[in-house]
Amino acid sequence: MTAKILEGKYFAAQIKEKCKQDIEMLKTEHQLTPGLAVIIVGENPASKVYVANKHRSCEEIGIYSEVIELPASTSKQALLDKIEHLNCDPKIHGILVQLPLPEHIRAAETEILNAISPAKDVDGFHPVNVGKLAIGEEHLVPCTPYGCIKMLELADIPIAGKQAVVIGRSNIVGKPMFHLLLARHATVTVCHSRSKDLANITRQADILVAAVGKPHFVTVDMVKPGAVVIDVGINRIADKKLVGDVDFEQVKEVAGAITPVPGGVGLLTIAMLLHNTVKAACIIHQVNVKALE
Ligand code: NAD
């Protein structure tokens, strides 16, 4: 059996098209243009590429986009002041601070991210939004796990009643993935670096999500035949090649469906950032957001 390949670009295009239509409606019916501000501190080349991609994606679908480039020497207070200014800026509905921060302010990362108003926290990292997700009130949800869920939903892959296993317990991927799957009535197990007999657990999974950060970590013997395998990992190996956490070539021979890397869930992350920006604009302006889902 060869797995169905879940191509990220196919699902990302659907999400972006829906955002574009919602934005046109907001512009014509509510005179509202959703706005995203991305702050980048310093000269990290990879961060610059990510920020440029986000800016271009916003422009493509009609989101107003501001990129705020601050020098690497920016103090914690100056950054907090900038965030406070954006919290009050009516043109801006989503604020994102590109990580990693320069060394001298890295220890203050949590304080800096928590300074973003929960209403404009399109990354979904603020404790208020984390708490809402944990009690089943999804507000602004972290983009990568949200993208995984959207992909399952758009691919008509049932979640309710399924055994789901998430490998990884980070605040960015593993834990929100747990909450999203649980809220959709899966029976969810979260594994991590101290889990024992991992393969025995992962072989139970109808839906297996790998968010570990280790190339080819999930091998074919860890996957139940027919399982849906979502590979969140992005790992650079020799010759600058990108691979996921899953041994794609082997696992695709037993899985029912599988996401490739590159070209898988990574593409959904930006799409969900756009979705969250539109959603934040709707909530701030009290436009019915149910229609966006
Ligand atoms: P992280 O380092 O914060 O977390 C890794 C998790 O893996 C930890 O919870 C750890 O307990 C677990 N782990 C490590 N070794 C393990 C082992 N031997 N057995 C079981 N669990 C083990 O990483 P993260 O931020 O969650 O990211 C995970 C991967 O996803 C990385 O490759 C990252 O680049 C990628 N990622 C991709 C996107 C995207 O847009 N596609 C977004 C975020 C992260």
Full DSSP string of 164-215: EEEE---TTTHHHHHHHHHHTT-EEEEE-TT-SSHHHHHTT-SEEEE-S--T
* CA-angle at 56, arms to 54 and 34, nearest 5°: 70
Task: Please determine, for residue 288, whether its predicted confidence score (pLDDT) is greater than 90.
Answer: no
Task: Please determine, for residue 292, whether its predicted confidence score (pLDDT) is greater than 70.
Answer: no
Confidence of residue 291 (pLDDT cuts 50, 70, 90): low
The token duo for 239 is 């010759």
- Whether ligand 1 lies within 6 angstroms of the CB of 23 is answered as no
- Whether ligand 1 lies within 6 angstroms of the CB of 191 is answered as yes
Cβ atoms within 10 Å, residue 55: 16
Locate the domains of the chain by residue range: 31-117, 143-266
pLDDT at 164: 99
CATH for 143-266, among 3.40.50.720, 3.30.70.270, 3.40.50.2300, 1.20.120.10?
3.40.50.720
31-117 matches 143-266 in fold: yes
Active centre residues (catalytic): 54, 98, 123
Burial letters 265-280, b for 16+ CB under 10 A, else e: bbbbbbbbbbbbbbbb
Question: How many angstroms is it from 29 CA to the middle of ligand 1?
Answer: 42
Task: Please determine, for residue 208, whether its predicted confidence score (pLDDT) is greater than 90.
Answer: yes
CATH number for the domain formed by residue range(s) 31-117 = 3.40.50.10860
pLDDT at 240: 85
Give the rounded percent of residues in the chain with a pLDDT score beyond 70: 98
- Whether ligand 1 lies within 6 angstroms of the CB of 189 is answered as no
Residues 243-262: pLDDT tens digits? 999 999 999 999 999 999 99
CA contacts within 13 A on the Cβ side of 263: 8
CA 183 centroid distance within chain = 17
CA–CA dist 146, 213 (Å, integer): 18
Question: How many angstroms is it from 211 CA to the middle of ligand 1?
Answer: 4
Confidence of residue 230 (pLDDT cuts 50, 70, 90): very high
Ligand 1 pocket test, pick from 125, 192, 198, 235 with the greatest ligand atom count within 8 Å of Cβ, gives 192
Q: Read off the pTM.
A: 0.96
pLDDT at 144: 97
Confidence of residue 210 (pLDDT cuts 50, 70, 90): very high
Residues 44-74: pLDDT tens digits? 999 999 999 999 999 999 999 999 999 999 9
